[in-house]
Structure 1
Amino acid sequence: MNSVAVEAIAKYHSHNISSCQCGSINMQEIGAPLSQVWHLIRKFDRPQAYKLFVKECFVLVGSGSEVGSVREVHIKSELPATTSIERLDELDDEHHVMRFSIIGGDHRLTNYQSTISLHEISDEVTMVIESYIVDVPLGLTKEETCAFIDNIIKFNMRSLAEKIARFV
């Protein structure tokens, strides 16, 4: 792990995880300038711009780009849910950090909190780091819960990299 990632994890991705929770950190280098990657990531009101499991998104509270905004995400049928209600907890354009929480929906992700941060590796390479914590649902193990969420995040990161590669 390079020093940029180590510093970013220490600064933005340290979570206090209780005994009934699990969490993980996922990283992906993307061959594009930080500004291009941030342009897509920061659009809280348009997660479907790169998250392929998202069918559509509606802003319920706020503008979609201000802290406290709430969105309703409609999920494609490949996942065991149809909607997720999510709140934007932080959007820091200077440090390229976004935090959001899942506050409702028809899924089993309770107390889900995610942090996404971007870090410039070079003029043409950006490191995306996404971490989360979540309660482990009854009947599942920590490993099963994290494996499920990690797979979705990794898929979203690959999708982001592919989307940006088409425009670079």
Structure 2
Amino acid sequence: MPTCSIIFPLKMEHILDRSAIRSSNRQCLFDSSDSHLPFAKAPPLKIMNIERRSNMEDEYIRRHHRHMVKDNQCSSSLVKLIKAPVNLVWSLVRRFDQPQRYKPFVSRCVVQGDLEIGSVREVNVRSGLPATTSKERLELLDDEEHIFAVKIVGGDHRLRNYSSIITVHPEVIDGRPGTIVIESFVVDVPDGNTKDETCFFVEALIRCNLKSLADVSERLALQGHTEPIDPI
């Protein structure tokens, strides 16, 4: 399983794969003081001149990644290019019951009931994060449009009212079938933290998950796997 360099809660090493991950063109400066806050402050980092998204990616976000953002919440979206066929990537993303197939921070997952909209999973989180468990509900699973949405409804962590949407889109990369993966989220900003700090924390986790998804998918593609891992 690929690993990502994140250390919690006293320090968070930023993960920026500028060659393959695109985020919103926010400019922000983080203060590393006051490490007692709910989310550890990020080390000083100024994000500038991040590669702009393409018009098609912006259209995907406009069409599928709509969040109702309240005053006490933050939201963002990230894009990952993966050199593997879309059906292969989607077969990993859609497995609500097996997020550990590519998410490096998940050690165990148990689903209550059948795999359908409204199903709930209990996720155990590996050590190294300021969390131990997460309870998550499946909000949307569209195999035709390749849309996957989850909402956190409980657990031992600081991500309150967290919802995420993942969409998977076909793309040609270096003349071969590839995939665009877009993940967006909305979450409450905890007392004592700013919107920038909260977004930075969540974006770092998503970047790590997307990098791991790319590593797993591209390794399978190199081994000759071009079809879904499991039948849909």
| Fold conserved between structures, TM > 0.5 | yes
Percent identical: 49
- The whole-number CA distance in structure 2 between the counterparts of 1:134 and 1:49 is 24
Could you report, residue by residue, the CA deviation over 1:7-31 in whole angstroms, capped at 9, with x for unpaired residues?
A: 1101111222111000110110000
* 1:19-34 correspondence runs (5 A): 19-34=71-86
TM superposition outliers: structure 1 runs of 4+ over 6 Å: none
Larger radius of gyration: 2
Structure 1, residues 16-62: CA drift from partner, whole Å, max 9, x if none?
211100011011000011000000000000000000000110112x2
1:129 aligns with 2:179: no
Structure 1 stretch displaced more, 44-53 or 6-15: 6-15
Structure 2 distance, partners of 1:3, 1:95, is 19
Separation (CA, whole Å) in 2 of partners of 1:120 and 1:69? 28
Aligned residue for 1:150, secondary structure, equals helix
Show the 5 A alignment for 1:11-160. 11-60=63-112, 62-63=113-114, 65-122=115-172, 124-160=177-213
Which protein is richer in strand relative to its size? 1
Contact 1:24–1:146 under 8 Å retained in 2? yes
Whole-angstrom CA distance in 2 between matches of 1:93 and 1:127: 16
Equivalenced residue count is 166
What SS does the corresponding residue of 1:38 show, helix, strand or coil? helix
Q: After the TM superposition, which of the residue ranges 1-10 and 46-55 deviates more from structure 2?
A: 1-10
Query: Structure 1 counterpart of 2:121, which letter?
Result: R
Residue deviations 1:44-87 (CA, integer Å, cap 9, x gap): 00000000000110112x22x31111000000011000000000
CA distance in 2, matches of 1:82, 1:102: 14
Native 8 Å contact 1:53 1:76 kept in 2? yes
Query: Tell me, what secondary structure is at the counterpart of 1:102?
Result: strand
Unaligned 5+ runs, structure 2: 1-52, 222-232
CA distance in 1, matches of 2:56, 2:169: 7
Write the letter of the residue equivalent to 1:35.
Answer: N
**Contact (CA 8 Å) 1:4, 1:121: kept in 2 or not?**
no
Greater shift after overlay, 1-10 or 22-31?
1-10
Unaligned runs of 5+ in 1: none
Shift of 1:4: 2.4
Q: For residue 166 of structure 1, report the CA deviation from its aligned partner.
A: 1.3
Partner deviation per Cα, 1:87-128 (whole Å, 9 max, x = no partner) = 000000000001110000011111101000011113611000
